[in-house]
Structure 1
């Protein structure tokens, strides 16, 4: 029964660890999938070539009107920021307030997540202008429930008949419930304004209640935002539909579609909004191609173009200078007090990119540049430009430019990751690709708009050139597979768009004579394969010739000699002897006065134990080592650290996880006398009677002895692979570094042995390193060996003896412990089937040790389960002599 309850508790903890993330990810994905499934019948009717032709026939004057109104619709959203500027007394100029608003609102429009993206961007930007974090938090929390009020007003206008979407609501009656639900939000919001419940959820402290003037101004700002968005949608629909629908009907349709988008919780309402518009225009008698043209133009002018402008503004605000990213901004962003609504969405951990928004924006601009090149290559150019290109350029030049544009497009998509990671080499090659892409997209079909955009992105990169300081980043298999999958998907989309849109577009035009520049589906297939393969081959060659990666070098004899000399003047710790195994790399900080022994695993540098050196230099040494790791895109993790150093790790941005406890035996109190150690005394007497002998031999060890010990070790392993990093393994060169305790039977044959590891602390502490015994060793062999080792250490003048770690011991035992530690505690209690956690601690308890905690110190932006797998991989890595 107890085991069943324990399993149930384990399952509950796993569910608790995953449920928040599942809610954030699964709900929007499931709703989006349901929307696509429900609308697949309508989507099948869409002919993309015809839709593109509908877009191309809109006159330039109408495009200019739409562009101006869309920018105005985004600009009026700054009313939010001017409201909080007055209410919270931000000392920020009106111009800067407007720019911050544009950046935050365009990011929030595109990425969504219940307004949390906008809140995070505002926090970062206003913090840059010196606004206190507490004021930013209060302002962001104030805005989070306000935004929906404008749509609620629009819903009431729909209910009272000012806006009209009667046909849509009649055909789909469930939408009436959705409209009423949003409509009731406004009176509920007003009614709750003065309640403690509302304050608890959205004001955090439960005390600060805002004046009615501020609330009404915020509601008015929300209404202006939604109204102008609706007007932009209506203007676009009016031009695409040739004025066939009135403004009241279009605003009514927009309101119903926006309600569906909000309830779907997808970023920007993607899916639900679009399908509602598609259904609404279908009921009005318009073909699916025109409806899709309305949606595409609205997404482009209201979301994409303002967001591109927001990216550029973000780069100009945050992208100048050579400042290497520190953790201070991110820490201040992450320490913002949270409401329950924010906690539900995992804020702000899922938006850590905001801590360096300028470079993140550059990476997205480069990604967008690659997509623009691919889209430009997949869609036909304007007819008069195609005719002009055919007259001025030869067909081989046009086809070569088209093919090179595709290759560069794929290359920019991949390079965008390197730009986000601030890799210098990626910056250099991205600028080359952008300039080349501008040339080839121009010679392909005189697409000067795309060329200007690419040159603008290249200019933004040049402005921010000092921020690209990294020599390289680790090549992680999972990341490579992910980007390969992304480019394969983009390749398929490019081929599908090209072969469907191109031919459908020209058929829709009913041309009397064929166009020389028209491409076949086979030509698009060839372009896809050559473009994708060419881009990956080019990038592999670039980064292979100049890898810029941190090499995982093993320690050389000269370095080990330097460590030996260093330990003559500085104290070590219980893990220091592992350094002489030769499998670690060394970083010398603070002009060689602080030593970091580390090993590389994926994108992490794992330091074994606490840094070695003077205590007052360690904090600055950690910061120096972190900067070194950051040059290569690596993160620093400290493994098996002691409680004494925890404050130093904390001030350098680390979180902690308790790994277990180390058994330290105070030798001055150790004795076999008394009732408590009767079992150990009995075992010792039995082995002495049977003729077993014990001795400790000092190096250098003879060749025959090492061969005999190797045979014992091989028999003990039974074909298993040796572990490393924090564990010793049998290697003759390593065994020569320390004394070895030998247990021999009556015939003089070695039955068991244990190598000893000094702590390099002035002869105070010694520990067991490698322990092995023959398969046929009698019961109690290791008890006898440990007992004799403890007696030897006490007689030799040592003060403490370490029996090693008890993993997960006393982890997560308290009710309010972290979820991860409580989960680890359950593994300790009930994981004996895989590893004898409880048994190991119980065994060491018989020697009456003092238990000292050991911790894992890691950066806040590392996901602990992934880090755990990396550490298991590191310790289990095949060792090399």
Structure 2
């Protein structure tokens, strides 16, 4: 219930904050007219705007220091150009539409391309977040201590309280730096976070101060000269920045403006503050996004140059650019759509009426209305760009071209038209980054995107009433069609956009349905078997169980198998088949779950495929490690464990054990013998058949597998069903069961014989399956899930002998490879694990049974 209510509550709180900010701004600007704002903007000195640009450049340059410090903290090395690209693009997007595409998600895409593992990337993202909080808190407290009067006056609190709070914060910062100076290597803070060195901590504090000072300077130079000291202004700026971040409103829009108006309202007229806010948003937020997209588009255009592809650092940069392009392009298109709606809600410049009067009224009216509808469409299409939909790419090009023409028709807005054409040109070389062939309107939006869309449309309505509030309202405004009746055009555009956005949001709500897994037909199972035979992954044979639904790719060359338990849609492992179809299947599966209000979970995925899941917004939790025996080069010679395996062979033969391989399809005459051994094993273990990620004993399934039999003096005492494909890359043990025997080394004998047999058959790897919860990190900074996993691993023998299972597999000297669970964040991993455990156990009853 918490997981269901959390997104809704977050959405409601965010919208309420946005609505409250809009009301506060309206109150602060009550005496200001739209014409006053235009006059103030036009009155700004070009030198001030250039200084704002200088401050922006300084701020974004300092932001690179966050990644530099984080990489030093984790001890990782990344080429400077890659680090700079990650930082600039991440903050350009995060600052502009933070909450939809964050700097952390951008970092994941960049640093996975450099080969950093997931744990290091998580530590980098965590360090940057904590460093920002530490830096802005310390710098803000210092500023409050020096110049508290504007904040105390705006909030109506005593200066002594603010001073005491600032002193307490600075004392805490000094204590933290002292801990860092006296730390031991890897000494944790509060038992979890490893302390950075004093050099990293103090250096990051300096970086934070420089970045904030540059960002504040970029705003301050836009205010009337001499109106407020920088130190007094800086306090308000830091508080506004923090409020915008904490609000979770995309880009802090409205909340940041409200705090700035409240804090500076006692020393500056509202029109001067509002004009500075408009230019600051354009220079500090919009220009970096356009520049970032332009850089990535240039990289896309250069991708085909062979000389660049042979230079390893340059090739890495180009790969990173490809990973970032959809996110950055989605951000830019969202901003462009917002600008179109703002343009539709504000008056036309008076200098353009001479041109408008030469055009037919119908052209002006229709252009204005259609331009606003195109703006809304761009907000929707931006979500498709983020998901790499080819339909969204082509539709965006068409919408940008159409809106450029409409910009000229509605008011000869040639600057707006040039910006739209520039975005269109930037997108042209990026075609290959949008490859998913999925219907655009089948993509369910996340609550965050719906909130952003609703906020923009609500902002358009607010701006319409603000811009034309001095126009006397009358019913005939809705039906007046004249060149000079701008209020009428704006009202009609607002109503049409609001109505379309409302219908779109309601459609998303009512179209959601509870899904159910449909058992595969015989034809689907046959298709899946043909695919799995032509690829190396042996565990894909579990599809033959028939207990999982099958999702095929559009080309029919790959599939993904899944089952549903509660709200969890659990995909078993990575997709199977053609690698080029895997991203499509992973995206489609997530979209299916979202459309059905489900919880996506990708169970037991491999390390090399993690970027595919990160690209869909999943978080990762380690499940355990799979034991894989490399057969090439394997030898029984030597001491230690190898000596024990040689003994198992010789002793087993003396005890009368014999080994036999039965090919797939030839096991039906043995079913009764096999069933007797299986039943005896289940009875002794007090267990029941498992499902989903494990094979179950069924006549059709077992006889369709290759079988390894162990007989003791002619009596069947053990067997293993094996999973193979036509490629001799991997063989995996599925069912492995035994009954009472005289020899105590039946299972060691069986596995050792399998190693020798399949090594001789030319196979590369023998998989012994996964050891759940093994290999969990004990580092002080390890996630909470790792610490829980280690506790269960060591203390859960009453329910499952985790340590014993790993110890048995360790006898054969395997290589341990990690396996992960990919899910949404929050409580989703724990809930998914619970549902998947029920799937494996055959329901809740099976979950509590041994």
Who is 1:497 aligned against?
462
CA drift at 1:420: 3.8
C-alpha distance after superposition, 1:489-516 (max 9, x if no partner): 247516743773465242399x999963
Partner of 1:724: 692
Work out whether residues 154 and 227 of structure 1, in 8 Å CA contact, stay in contact via their aligned partners in 2. Answer: no
CA apart distance, 1:433: 0.8
Offset at 1:458? Answer: 1.2
Structure 2 counterpart SS, 1:723 = coil
- Matched residue, 2:162: 177
CA shift at 1:430, angstroms?
A: 0.6
The 2-side partners of 1:795 and 1:280 are apart by 74
1:381–1:445 CA contact under 8 A, matched in 2: yes
Provide the C-alpha distance between the structure 2 equivalents of 1:36 and 1:830, rounded to a whole number of angstroms: 49
Between the aligned partners of 1:182 and 1:418, the Cα distance in structure 2 is 48
Query: Could you tell me which of 338, 341, 351 is aligned with 1:374?
Result: 341
Quickly say closer, same or farther: Cα 1:425–1:633, change in 2 above 3 A: farther
What does residue 52 of structure 2 align with?
Answer: 73
Question: Cα–Cα, structure 1 residues 651 and 330, in superposed 2: closer, same or farther, change >3 Å?
Answer: farther
TM-score, structure 2 normalization: 0.57
Give SS of 1:837's match: coil
1:39-59 deviation line (CA, Å, top 9, x unaligned): 8898286287x57x6232345
SS state at 2:471 partner: helix
Q: Is the 8 A contact 1:31 1:264 kept in 2?
A: no
Q: Whole-Å Cα distance in 1 between the matches of residues 207 and 450 of structure 2? A: 47
Give CA deviations for 1:285-316 in whole Å, capped at 9, x if unaligned. x9xxx63x544433321133343222222233
Instruction: Report the secondary structure of 1:407's partner residue.
Output: helix
Q: Deviation at 1:208?
A: 9.1
1:46 aligns with 2:12: no
Residue in structure 2 matched with residue 261 of structure 1 by the alignment = 240
Structure 2: runs of 5+ lacking an equivalent = 69-82, 115-123, 509-519, 590-600, 615-619, 630-643, 656-660, 683-687, 712-716, 758-765, 843-850
Residue 57 in structure 1 maps to residue 39 in structure 2: no
3-state SS, counterpart of residue 472 of structure 2? helix
Match of 2:499 in 1: 529
With over 3 angstroms needed to count, the CA separation of the structure-2 counterparts of 1:735 and 1:496, relative to structure 1, is farther
Change (3 A) 1:796 1:157: closer
For the pair 1:657 / 2:625, whether they are aligned, the reply is no
Q: Is the 8 A contact 1:638 1:857 kept in 2?
A: no
**Are 1:310 and 2:288 an aligned pair?**
yes
Q: Could you say if the C-alpha distance between residues 821 and 768 of structure 1 is closer, same or farther in structure 2, counting changes exceeding 3 Å?
A: same
Match of 1:778 in 2: none
Residues 469 and 809 of structure 1: CA distance in aligned 2, closer, same or farther (over 3 Å): closer
CA gap 1:731/1:104 in 2 versus in 1, 3 angstroms: closer
- Residue 222 of structure 2 aligns to a residue whose secondary structure is helix
Residues 575, 223 of structure 1: alpha-carbon distance in 2 compared, 3 angstrom cutoff: closer
Larger Rg: 1
* Residues 604 and 820 in structure 2, CA contact (< 8 A), matched pair in contact too: no
- 1:365 to 2:332 alignment: yes
Q: How many equivalent residue pairs?
A: 698
Q: Which residue of 2 aligns with 1:456?
A: 422
Give the superposition deviation at 1:416.
Answer: 1.8
Residue 756 of structure 1: SS of its match in structure 2? strand
| 772, 792, 801: which one aligns with 1:808 | 772
2: CA distance between counterparts of 1:513 and 1:411?
A: 23
Is residue 628–residue 814 contact of structure 2 (8 Å, CA) maintained in 1?
A: yes
Conserved? CA contact 1:431–1:458, under 8 Å: yes
How far does residue 480 in structure 1 lie from its aligned partner after superposition? 2.9
> 1:218-263: CA deviations, max 9, x gaps?
989976764563231336xxxxxxxxxxx34475762441243366
Match of 1:837 in 2: 800
Q: What's the CA shift for 1:598?
A: 6.1
CA deviation after TM superposition for structure 1 residue 34, in Å: 12
Which residue does 1:543 correspond to in 2? none
* Residue of structure 1 in register with 2:376 after alignment: 410
In structure 1, C-alpha distance between the alignment counterparts of 2:256 and 2:405, rounded to whole Å: 38
- CA deviation after TM superposition for structure 1 residue 198, in Å: 11
- Tell me if the contact between 2:613 and 2:822 (Cα under 8 Å) persists in the aligned partners: yes
SS of the aligned residue for 1:320 comes to helix
Q: Does the 8 A contact of 2:381 with 2:392 survive in 1?
A: yes
Alignment of 1:699-778 (within 5 A): 699-700=665-666, 723-724=691-692, 726-728=694-696, 730=698, 732=700, 735-738=703-706, 756-757=721-722, 767=733, 769=735
Residue 230 of structure 1: aligned partner: 220
For the Cα contact (< 8 Å) 2:336–2:378, is it kept in 1?
yes
Label 1:420 to 1:507 Cα distance change in 2 as closer, same or farther (>3 A): same
Output one character per residue of 1:372-420: Cα deviation in whole Å (capped at 9) or x when no partner. Answer: 222233444456757965773244x555434433432222112223334
Equivalent residue for 1:299, pick from 255, 261, 277: 277
Q: Distance in 2 between matches of 1:844 and 1:167?
A: 62
Contact (CA 8 Å) 2:367, 2:409: kept in 1 or not? yes
Q: Against the structure 1 CA distance between its residues 294 and 604, is the aligned structure 2 distance closer, same or farther, given a 3 Å change threshold?
A: farther
1:158–1:252 contact (8 Å) kept in structure 2:
yes
CA distance in 2, matches of 1:208, 1:740: 58
3-state SS of paired residue (2:239): helix
Cα distance per residue 1:750-808 (max 9 Å; x no partner): xx99883366899999955398xxxxxxxxxx745999995998699756999976752
In the other structure, the counterpart of 2:787 is: 822
CA distance in structure 1 between the aligned counterparts of 2:356 and 2:521, rounded to whole angstroms:
53
Is the aligned partner of 1:168 residue 2:153? Answer: yes
Confirm or deny: 8 A CA contact 1:401 1:443 kept in the other structure: yes
**Residue 434 of structure 1: CA displacement?**
0.8
With over 3 angstroms needed to count, the CA separation of the structure-2 counterparts of 1:389 and 1:379, relative to structure 1, is same
* Displacement of 1:75: 0.7
* Counterparts of residues 270-289 of structure 1 (less than 5 Å): 274-280=257-263
C-alpha distance 635-253 of structure 1, shift in aligned 2 (>3 A)? same
Kindly indicate whether the alpha-carbon contact (under 8 Å) linking 1:605 and 1:629 is maintained by their aligned counterparts in 2.
Answer: no
**2:409 matches 1:428:** no
Alignment match, 2:517: none
Give distance in 2, aligned partners of 1:316 and 1:369.
15
TM-score normalised per structure 1:
0.55
- Indicate how the Cα distance of structure 1 residues 485 and 428 shifts in structure 2: closer, same or farther if over 3 A, else same: same
CA contact (8 A) 1:378 1:495 kept: yes
Q: Do the aligned partners of 1:661 and 1:806 also contact (CA within 8 Å) in 2? A: yes
Separation in 2, partners of 1:172, 1:151 = 17
Q: CA deviation at 1:431?
A: 0.7
| Corresponding residue of 1:440 | 406
Residues 671 and 392 of structure 1: CA distance in aligned 2, closer, same or farther (over 3 Å): same
SS, match of residue 691 in structure 2: coil
